[in-house]
Structure 1
Amino acid sequence: MYELFVLGELMTGDKHGYQLQDILANSVGLVRKISSGTLYPLLSRMTEAGWIHLRIEEETAGGRTRKIYGITEAGRRRFHELMEKPLGTEAVAETELLFRFKMVYFSYVDKDVRLACLEQYLQMLEKSYQHVTSFERYLLTVKPEPEKQRVQLLRVFDHRKRLGEADMQWVKEEIQRVRMLEE
């Protein structure tokens, strides 16, 4: 997933490691942190794989060197492979993050790739929604104890259903919008 992020960001132009880390930190949200210990080994592996290249520049202010990363032609091919790859069946939170990364880079892929990604995400949302409503029906029918916990769990499910409905509606509208685009 972070491979896609790095390649996607480099599709927009060369960046140094700190820029990538800063953009990634803002992309993944407040809960998740991406350390230098995760990012820089990934950049090294991607350089070794030939997907990105490294250029070292000397900074004038402090005399420190700065590593600038750029995407290679092999990296562009890898980026398109990752964008075309189905979302998969990872944990919902991972799939949501991957979906958000892919959406950011939709402008670099064709309409069919965008639609496939949106439709896969919609299927995941629908499956999750069905799971919540199914368990909600179980709680309403069987009424397991303790009652206070069951009642609060039903509130949680009501929240999840409302979020799911809003997400599904937005994705359906986005699918329609993308279908209408000229290529």
Structure 2
Amino acid sequence: MYDLFVLGELMAEDKHGYVLQERLQYAVGPNRKISAGTLYPLLTRFEENGWITQSEQNEGGRARKSYRLTELGRERFHTLIVSPIENHTDAELTFQFRLAYLHFVPKEARIACLRQYIQYLRNNLRYVNSLSEMIASKKIDDKQLYQVMRMLDHRKHMILADIEWVEKEADRIETAKEGME
């Protein structure tokens, strides 16, 4: 997941490690901490795989490393952005990263990515619906049952809202004139 973010950031321009760490922290939000111990091993692996190169520049008497995407890194980025979304706890954040960098891939890939996420959401909706039916048939204290059903109802509404938004976005891209999407 962080691979996609870092490669996506480098698709636009070269960046220092500090800038990448800061932007990644903004992207994941306040409930996760992105440390140098998370980012720099990732950058080292990227270099070992030939996805990025680094250069050192002196800025104000201080050496700073800047990272640049290679052609192999661009290929890796394209592979990551169109690969299937796996059912894991970070699927939504992975989609958010993809959404931020969709403009770097062709129209067909953008639409495919969005349609794939819609399918992921529909699978989650089916699961929540089946869970609601199963729980409703169990003998549970009425107050607890009420609260659990409210929680599942909330999840359903969130998923339905996501599906609606992503479908509109896919339709918008599909119907937009080339270069305007």
Place the TM-score, normalised by the shorter chain, in its bin: over 0.9
When normalised by structure 1's length, the TM-score is 0.92
CA distance in 2 between partners of 1:86 and 1:130 (Å): 19
The match for 2:25 is 25
Q: Distance in 2 between matches of 1:130 and 1:73?
A: 40
Identity level (%): 47
Question: Which structure 1 segments of 5+ residues have no match?
Answer: none
**Residue in structure 1 matched with residue 82 of structure 2 by the alignment:** 84
Matched positions, count: 178
Q: Which residue of 2 aligns with 1:97?
A: 93
Q: Please give the root-mean-square deviation of Cα atoms over the aligned residues, in Å.
A: 1.3
TM-score, normalized by length of structure 2?
0.93
List runs of 5+ in structure 2 lacking aligned partners: none
Measured against aligned partners, the alpha-carbon deviations of 1:20-49 in whole angstroms (never above 9, x if no partner) come to 001001111222222211100110111121
Shift in Å, 1:182: 2.6
Displacement after TM superposition at 1:143 (Å): 4.2
Equivalence map 1:64-143=2 (5 Å): 64-87=62-85, 89-91=86-88, 93-140=89-136, 142-143=137-138
User: What are the Cα deviations for residues 34-78 of structure 1, in whole angstroms up to 9, with x where unaligned?
Assistant: 221110011011112111110111121xx2211111111111111
- Is 1:14 equivalent to 2:10 in the alignment? no
Specify the SS of the correspondent of 2:87: coil
Runs of 4+ aligned residues of structure 1 deviating over 3 Å after TM superposition are none
Alpha-carbon distance in structure 1 between the residues aligned to 2:138 and 2:146: 9
